[in-house]
């Protein structure tokens, strides 16, 4: 007779974590083996992976379906520009400063829009993003409605050579992706994460267990906003130019991100990562078709939502509940006992 | 006098916003569905009106005879074929599907009509006005406001005095028991969406006569409609008209201070009301 | 022997992974009142939900006048003339008393029942016809629920625990009205936890226990012992 034990890792997850470690090493070395265009693409992939993971954390785990995360992407861009241009901060310092400002601003925003429920909450987040857009369009020192470019001095402050700069931006993107996925993973494994899962599964039951739903969701919202602001800062460091329409674009920073998560599999850690890879594969093949590719993406996302609501990852893992990230606790030894 | 004029123009503009909001309010009331594509459907209606009025040489106001039934039929089909599959306890599927729909409509319009702004030409009525002492009122804004009042009165009557309204309220109360009464939920929802898009068609045509529009114009129409609904109080149709008027006045007063503040002022008033009266200014008594 | 108006054969019912009914068989003949009894959780309400179409079944599991109806939607089943008074009444709170009754008749099936006859049967409802239905007392709400089902002029009336939560004197008056209701060739299924009540109004009885039929027979013919054994399983 065997003993029962509880553990989170499975042979699949141990293998996956090892493979992930290896992949990270290879990707870390990318500046030495990849060309300039690939490096830029990889950087963009990591930034979208971060945005998708964050949106999934918000919507898939905390049930806060936002269609206004572009508010924080744009805020991050503008705060990064302001911090480097007006306050003379080093770009590497300006990024975390932008993130802190984003988190600080998101707290009163949350207090306000948490008064809206469900889908109305979603549109409320959009209003907030519009307010940010219209506000920054009024700031003439940041170029008003037409936007501004990052001064050469700031860019050079990062690194004198173009190659060095691009490698650094790439490493920042890789680092932020690791940070974001790692932070969400750590949060979900913590006590708070267990509370979050309990709320998702049954809000009423969670309440009766003494879980403070408002605070838990508030924390998730603020953490997500701060990290999204960080990603936004880096996005516009990579672009070197910012304008209100680009910074607060609902298509670029929310629609695409939502489609990525839905197609990959909402409510899992693996889904957004898989979805990002699928999205970029599609984009690189269909980019020449212009608008039709956004239509196709929308159609695919609707089809997935209707016919495979758990996304591609849900299809792959099937009923066995395979997890590459060791997240759920599993009881070992049960099947052996049954035999 | 300038300020009073701005307030009156804003109130009339509020009629248009109430039309944006009425369709949104209707489907939320019947099936708790929030349609993120609502604004894009308004813009789609304007394009349908553009094509019919140009193609048939009709005044866009006459084109309503075609646009309204076309949009209603589209709404019924949309609900039966797609949206009904998403209805359930989980709010994520309808939200994401209508969001996807929004992106599809927007980009399809972009492909079909390009990003160039368009306008519906309604002829002399656009510039016609009447003077009441020092105040000059445009005939079109007054007409739009009157239509908004009529639409809301009509919806109110339909809801509380007709068999269809009874079916809507019963289905909204208890879907499964309504089904036991022989009401096919899928059909009732289809009718609600058809009615919503019929109102949307009106809103789209009036929007297109009033201002120029482009494929990306939907998002802000959705937001204006949504703000009117929340300011007025969920589930209160007359409140929605009040919400539209308040939003319209906030915008025209904002624009009077600085043209760049027009939309921003509306959003800020909305957020202010959300902060001090989260259930809206005219919440439903029994809600 | 006449063909039964409703026959159920081998009916299984599930809520997700949980199976609530196992191979239930029963039949109702025209004009018959069948009592379905059983303890809490025996599957009585599930059976009502299955027949009325709120739960979908295999097409052949439920037959109506010989026609398979197990897979039809609830509104299609209502149109055939099967009406349910659901457990807990479940009136429409946004509708007035009269609107609740009218919507019960919205299918427009012909028959003896009309607003006037419902008001004759339950005069108090006429007095209060413009009040929101949920503003009534529990007993009056139950009258509305029964009236709402009758307004569809059903051929089979199913009543799920109509005495639940009501004062004994109210229960008595509602049960006194029942013979007048089922007198006109109407068939009925009465679901009750109260065995004596169930036996007093029915000609046949079916007992459920843990999702299975544990006993069936004429209401007058079954012994107390047999019934309590089938009911409690001891």
Q: Which residues of B51-60 are buried (b: 16+ CB within 10 A; e: fewer)?
A: ebbeeeeeeb
Chain B positions in Cβ-Cβ contact with residue A113 (cut-off 8 Å): 274
- In this prediction, residue A16 carries a pLDDT of 82
- The domain in which residue A191 lies consists of 43-248
- In this prediction, residue B272 carries a pLDDT of 92
The CA distance from B151 to B41, in Å, is: 18
Establish if C94 touches chain B: CB-CB under 8 angstroms: yes
Hey, CA dihedral for B268, B270, B274, B276, is it positive or negative?
A: positive
- For residue range A156-165, what is the model confidence (pLDDT) as tens digits? 888 888 888 8
Nearest CA in chain B to C75: B182
Is B179's CB within 8 Å of C54's CB? yes
Establish if B182 touches chain C: CB-CB under 8 angstroms: yes
Q: Which residues of B171-205 are buried (b: 16+ CB within 10 A; e: fewer)?
A: bbbbbebbbbbbbbbbbbbbbbbbbbbbbbbbbbb
**Touch between chain A and chain B: 3 or more Cβ pairs under 8 Å:** yes
Is C92's CB within 8 Å of B167's CB? no
- For residue range C196-226, what is the model confidence (pLDDT) as tens digits? 888 888 999 999 999 999 989 888 888 888 8
Domain annotation covers residue C1? no
Cβ neighbours, 10 Å, residue C89 = 25
pLDDT at B71 over 90: yes
CA C68 to chain centre: 20
Is B95's CB within 8 Å of A250's CB? no
Is B177's CB within 8 Å of C52's CB? no
- In this prediction, residue B287 carries a pLDDT of 34
Establish if B167 touches chain C: CB-CB under 8 angstroms: yes
Q: In percent, how much of chain A has pLDDT > 90?
A: 48
pLDDT at A209 over 80: no
Establish if B176 touches chain C: CB-CB under 8 angstroms: yes
- In this prediction, residue C27 carries a pLDDT of 93
Domain annotation covers residue A326? no
- For residue range B233-256, what is the model confidence (pLDDT) as tens digits? 887 889 999 999 999 999 999 999
- Ramachandran angles phi, psi of C6, nearest 5°: -125, 130
Smallest Cβ–Cβ distance between B177 and the set C79, C86, C94 belongs to C86
A210 vs A61 pLDDT, higher one: A61
Helices in chain C by DSSP H: which ranges? 44-52, 74-80, 97-104, 115-121, 123-127, 138-150, 168-182, 195-201, 224-232
Q: Which of A261-270, B129-138, B213-222 has the lowest mean pLDDT?
A: B129-138
Domain annotation covers residue C109? yes
Chain B positions in Cβ-Cβ contact with residue C74 (cut-off 8 Å): 176, 179-180
Chain A positions in Cβ-Cβ contact with residue B230 (cut-off 8 Å): 116, 120
Smallest Cβ–Cβ distance between C54 and the set B166, B173, B176 belongs to B176
Beta bridge partners of B132: B135
Sequence ranges of the domains in chain B: 2-276
**Residues 147..206 of C with a Cβ closer than 8 Å to B: which?**
148, 152
Q: Which residues, including other chains, have CB under 8 Å from residue C52's CB and lie 6 or more apart? A: B180, C74, C77, C78, C82, C84, C158
Chain B interface, Cβ < 8 Å to A: 33-34, 36, 82, 85-86, 91-97, 99-101, 103-104, 107-108, 110-111, 219-220, 222-223, 226-227, 230, 234, 260-261, 263-264, 267-268, 270-271, 274-275, 278
Is B107's CB within 8 Å of A295's CB? yes
- For residue range C35-89, what is the model confidence (pLDDT) as tens digits? 999 888 889 999 999 999 999 899 999 999 999 999 999 999 999 999 999 999 9
Smallest Cβ–Cβ distance between C74 and the set B173, B179, B286 belongs to B179
Please, which pLDDT band fits residue B285 given cuts at 50, 70 and 90? very low
Instruction: Quickly tell me which residue has 């009557």 as its tokens.
Output: B157
Subunit partners of chain C (3 or more CB pairs within 8 A): B
- Ramachandran angles phi, psi of C211, nearest 5°: 85, 5
Report chain A's mean pLDDT, rounded to a whole number. Answer: 87
Subunit partners of chain B (3 or more CB pairs within 8 A): A, C
Q: Mean per-residue pLDDT for B202-226?
A: 94
Report the domain count for chain C: 1
Is B173's CB within 8 Å of C92's CB? yes
- In this prediction, residue B281 carries a pLDDT of 81
A72: tokens are 């924080």
Q: Which of A2-6, A130-134, A177-181, C182-186 has the lowest mean pLDDT?
A: A2-6
Nearest CA in chain C to B169: C94
Q: Class of the B2-276 domain? A: mainly alpha
Is B180's CB within 8 Å of C83's CB? yes
| DSSP conformational letter for C71 | T
- In this prediction, residue A23 carries a pLDDT of 87
Domain annotation covers residue A103? yes
The CA distance from C155 to C161, in Å, is: 19
Please, which pLDDT band fits residue A339 given cuts at 50, 70 and 90? very low
Chain A positions in Cβ-Cβ contact with residue B108 (cut-off 8 Å): 295
Domain annotation covers residue C19? yes
Please, which pLDDT band fits residue A329 given cuts at 50, 70 and 90? low
- For residue range B20-39, what is the model confidence (pLDDT) as tens digits? 999 999 998 899 888 999 99
Establish if B178 touches chain C: CB-CB under 8 angstroms: yes
Domain annotation covers residue A240? yes
Chain B positions in Cβ-Cβ contact with residue A301 (cut-off 8 Å): 96, 100
Report chain C's mean pLDDT, rounded to a whole number. Answer: 90
Domain annotation covers residue C58? yes
Is A119's CB within 8 Å of B278's CB? no
Establish if B175 touches chain C: CB-CB under 8 angstroms: no
Q: Mean per-residue pLDDT for A114-128?
A: 87
CATH at C170: 3.40.50.300
Please, which pLDDT band fits residue A119 given cuts at 50, 70 and 90? confident
Nearest CA in chain B to A308: B93
- In this prediction, residue A77 carries a pLDDT of 96
A36 vs B52 pLDDT, higher one: B52
B281 vs B262 pLDDT, higher one: B262
Q: Mean per-residue pLDDT for A281-296?
A: 82
Q: How many helices (H) and strands (E) does chain A have?
A: 18, 4
Chain A positions in Cβ-Cβ contact with residue B93 (cut-off 8 Å): 305-306, 309
Please, which pLDDT band fits residue A3 given cuts at 50, 70 and 90? low
pLDDT at C184 over 80: no
ipTM above 0.90, yes or no: yes
Domain annotation covers residue A90? yes
SS3 content of chain B, % helix, strand, coil (to 5): 80, 5, 20
Establish if C81 touches chain B: CB-CB under 8 angstroms: no
Report the domain count for chain A: 1
Q: Which of A31-35, A223-227, B120-124, C182-186 has the lowest mean pLDDT?
A: C182-186
Q: Mean per-residue pLDDT for A10-34?
A: 84
């Amino acid at each position: 007779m065997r003993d029962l034990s509880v553990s989170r890792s499975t042979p699949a997850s141990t293998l996956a974590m090892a493979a992930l470690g290896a992949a990270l090493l290879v990707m870390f070395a990318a500046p030495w083996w990849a060309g300039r265009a690939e490096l830029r693409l990889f950087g963009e992939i990591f930034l979208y992976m971060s945005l998708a993971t964050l949106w999934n954390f918000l919507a898939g785990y905390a049930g806060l379906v936002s269609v206004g995360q572009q508010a924080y992407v744009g805020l991050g861009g503008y705060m990064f520009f302001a911090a480097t241009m007006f306050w003379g901060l080093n770009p590497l310092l300006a990024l975390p400063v932008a993130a802190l400002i984003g988190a600080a601003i998101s707290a009163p925003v949350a207090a306000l829009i948490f008064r809206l429920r469900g889908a109305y909450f979603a549109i409320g987040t959009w209003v907030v993003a519009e307010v940010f857009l219209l506000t920054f369009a009024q700031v003439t020192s940041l170029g008003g409605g037409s936007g501004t470019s990052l001064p050469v001095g700031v860019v050079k402050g990062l690194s004198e050579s173009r190659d060095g700069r691009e490698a650094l931006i790439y490493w920042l993107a890789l680092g932020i992706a690791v940070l974001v996925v790692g932070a969400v993973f750590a949060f979900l494994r913590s006590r708070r994460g267990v509370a979050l899962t309990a709320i998702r599964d049954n809000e009423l039951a969670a309440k009766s267990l003494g879980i403070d739903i408002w605070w838990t969701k508030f924390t998730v919202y603020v953490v997500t906003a701060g990290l999204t602001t960080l990603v936004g800062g880096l996005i516009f460091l990579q672009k070197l130019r910012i304008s209100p329409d680009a910074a607060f674009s609902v298509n670029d920073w929310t629609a695409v991100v939502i489609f990525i998560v839905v197609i990959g599999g909402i409510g899992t850690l693996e889904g957004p990562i898989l979805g990002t890879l699928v999205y970029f594969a599609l984009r690189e093949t269909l980019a020449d078709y212009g608008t039709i590719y956004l239509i196709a993406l929308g159609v695919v996302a609707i089809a997935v939502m209707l016919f495979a609501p758990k996304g591609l990852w849900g299809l792959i893992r099937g009923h066995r509940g395979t997890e590459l990230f060791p997240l759920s606790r599993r009881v070992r030894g049960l099947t052996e006992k049954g035999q | 006098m300038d300020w009073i004029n701005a307030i009156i123009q804003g109130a009339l503009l509020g009629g248009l916003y109430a039309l944006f909001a009425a369709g949104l309010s209707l489907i939320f009331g019947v099936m708790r569905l929030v349609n993120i594509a609502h604004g894009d459907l308004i813009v789609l209606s304007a394009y349908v009106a553009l094509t019919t009025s140009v193609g048939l040489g009709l005044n866009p106001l006459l084109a309503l005879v075609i646009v309204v039934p076309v949009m209603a039929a589209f709404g019924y089909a949309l609900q039966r074929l797609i949206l009904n599959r998403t209805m359930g306890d989980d709010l994520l599927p309808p939200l994401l599907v209508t969001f996807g729909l929004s992106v599809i409509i927007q980009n399809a319009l972009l492909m079909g009509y390009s990003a160039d702004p368009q306008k519906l030409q309604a002829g002399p009525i656009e510039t016609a006005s009447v003077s009441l002492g020092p105040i000059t009122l445009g005939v079109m804004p007054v007409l739009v406001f009157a239509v908004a009042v009529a639409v809301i009165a009509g919806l109110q009557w339909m809801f509380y005095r007709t068999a269809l309204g009874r079916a809507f309220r019963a289905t909204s109360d208890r879907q499964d028991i309504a089904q036991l009464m022989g009401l096919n939920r899928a059909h009732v929802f289809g009718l609600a969406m058809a009615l919503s898009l019929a109102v949307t068609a009106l809103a789209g045509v009036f929007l297109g006569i009033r201002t120029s529009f482009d494929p990306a114009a939907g998002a802000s129409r959705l937001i204006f409609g949504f703000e009117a609904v929340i300011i007025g109080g969920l589930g209160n149709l007359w409140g929605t008209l009040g919400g539209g008027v308040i939003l319209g006045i906030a915008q025209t007063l904002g624009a009077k201070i600085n043209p760049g503040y027009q939309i921003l002022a509306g959003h800020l008033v909305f957020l202010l009301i959300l902060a001090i009266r989260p259930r809206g200014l005219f919440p439903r008594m029994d809600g | 022997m006449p063909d039964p108006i409703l026959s159920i054969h081998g009916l299984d019912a599930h809520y997700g992974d949980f199976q609530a009914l196992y191979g239930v068989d029963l039949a109702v003949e025209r004009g018959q009142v069948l009592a379905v009894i059983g303890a809490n959780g025996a599957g009585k309400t599930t059976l009502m939900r299955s027949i009325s179409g709120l739960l979908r079944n295999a097409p052949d599991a439920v037959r109506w006048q010989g026609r398979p109806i197990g897979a039809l939607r609830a509104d299609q089943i209502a149109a055939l003339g099967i009406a349910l008074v659901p457990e807990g009444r479940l009136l429409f709170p946004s509708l007035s008393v009269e609107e609740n009754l009218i919507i019960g008749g919205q299918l427009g099936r012909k028959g003896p029942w009309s607003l006037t006859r419902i008001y004759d049967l339950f005069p108090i409802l006429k007095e209060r016809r413009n009040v929101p239905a949920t503003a009534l007392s529990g007993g009056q709400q139950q009258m509305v629920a029964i009236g709402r089902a009758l307004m569809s002029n059903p051929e089979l009336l199913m009543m799920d625990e109509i005495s639940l939560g009501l004062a004994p004197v109210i229960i008595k008056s509602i049960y006194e009205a029942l013979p007048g209701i089922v007198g006109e060739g109407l068939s009925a299924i009465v679901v009750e936890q109260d065995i004596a009540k169930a036996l007093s109004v029915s000609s046949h009885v079916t007992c459920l226990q843990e999702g299975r039929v544990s006993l069936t027979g004429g209401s007058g013919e079954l012994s107390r012992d047999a019934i309590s054994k089938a009911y409690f399983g001891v």
